[in-house]
Amino acid sequence: MAVVSAKTPAVKLNTGYEMPQIGIGTWQATGDPVRQAVKDALAIGYRHVDTAYIYNNEKEVGEGINAQIGAGILKREDLFITTKVWPDGSNRKKALESIHNSLTKLNVTYLDLVLVHWPRDNYSDTYQGLEDAFDQKLVRSIGVSNFGRNEINTLKKTWKVVPAVNQIDIHPTLNQDDTVAYCNELGISVTGYSPLGTGKLIQDPTLTAIGKKHNKSAAQVALRWQIERNLVTIPKSVNKKYIQEDFEIFDFTLTKDEIQTIHDMKA
């Protein structure tokens, strides 16, 4: 089991493993900036890193991780690593090959979580490749990303391993209530990506006003709202100041009224 930083609460997955509730996202970050962002995040206390084959950054993410393991900042078993298989043109065999490729690029011997990135092409076939990796103990947990109720129901007809996680776009103006409730019903944990609406919410007046009451930023309020919903959140930044700020969300709580106000925000 992963050892989770005392500052980082975790959700328990249906596989029994713990997934830290905050991770560093790496979408649209490549090269030196993402390598440094991962190093900074791990030094700050993050113990969850999210990447994907299609982000074209697994090598640099792995270098950042292994630099901090080498420096004694953490051990591999302290860390939760998520990556994703791109489904277009994929199948059971190619999915397993993709996971082997990710292991090589990240320079690790196992992955904590692998997701089917989108419900496209033969996603049920692709998911079977993830099940093979799970059976071979290359992956501790498997799941999906961007799946709604209908896609989950289609996958349900053939899955042998219930997805541990569904990673979907969630932020205060996109609360995803229906999908979250359905996943909860099936024992699937939910990760919210783009939790700040790809940056659109960092100066939102509603979030800013709530933040002032807690001496927190609008971004911290948006992230805390996800924590209060028992979701996992993966804000992305390559700026050390923001990476630090995003991590400082475990020393305050939102009131029920504040949670509802955020929940009811419209785009």
Residue 110: domain span:
10-197+231-238
Beta bridge partners of 139: 111
State the sign of the Cα–Cα–Cα–Cα dihedral 228, 229, 232, 236: negative
Residue 127 lies in a domain: yes
Q: With CA atoms as reference, report the closest residue to 222 among 190, 247, 252, 196.
A: 196
Indicate if 17 belongs to the active site. no
Q: Indicate whether 203 belongs to any domain.
A: no
pTM passes above 0.85:
yes
DSSP 55: G
Q: 24 with 37: CB under 8 angstroms?
A: yes
Q: Token digits for 257?
A: 């009224």
CATH code where residue 31 lies: 3.20.20.100
55, 127, 182, 193: which is the annotated catalytic residue? 55
Mutual orientation of helices 218-228 and 240-247 as an angle, nearest 10°? Answer: 40
Specify the long-range contacts of residues 210-215, CB closer than 8 Å, at least 24 apart: 210/254, 210/258, 210/261, 210/262, 213/258, 214/252, 214/254
Please check whether residue 219 lies inside any domain of the structure.
no
Does a structural domain hold residue 57? yes
Structural domain contains residue 258: no
Question: How many Å apart are CA 259 and CA 224, to the nearest integer?
Answer: 9
Tens of pLDDT along the chain (267 residues) come to: 344 455 689 999 999 999 999 999 999 899 999 999 999 999 999 999 999 999 999 999 999 999 999 999 999 999 999 999 999 999 999 999 999 999 999 999 999 999 999 999 999 999 999 999 999 999 999 999 999 999 999 999 999 999 999 999 999 999 999 999 999 999 999 999 999 998 899 999 999 999 999 999 999 999 999 999 999 999 999 999 999 999 999 999 999 999 999 999 988
CA-based nearest residue to 121, from 98, 96, 142, 92: 92
Would you say the C-alpha torsion 198, 200, 206, 207 has a positive or negative sign? positive
Name the DSSP letter for residue 72: T
Residue 58 inside a domain? The answer is: yes
* 253 is a domain residue: no
The count of domains in the chain is 1
Does 254 reside within a domain? no
| DSSP per position, 85-128 | E--TT--HHHHHHHHHHHHHHHT-S-EEEEEE-SS-SSHHHHHH
**CB 119: neighbour CB atoms within 10 A?**
20
> Does the annotation flag 263 for ligand binding?
no
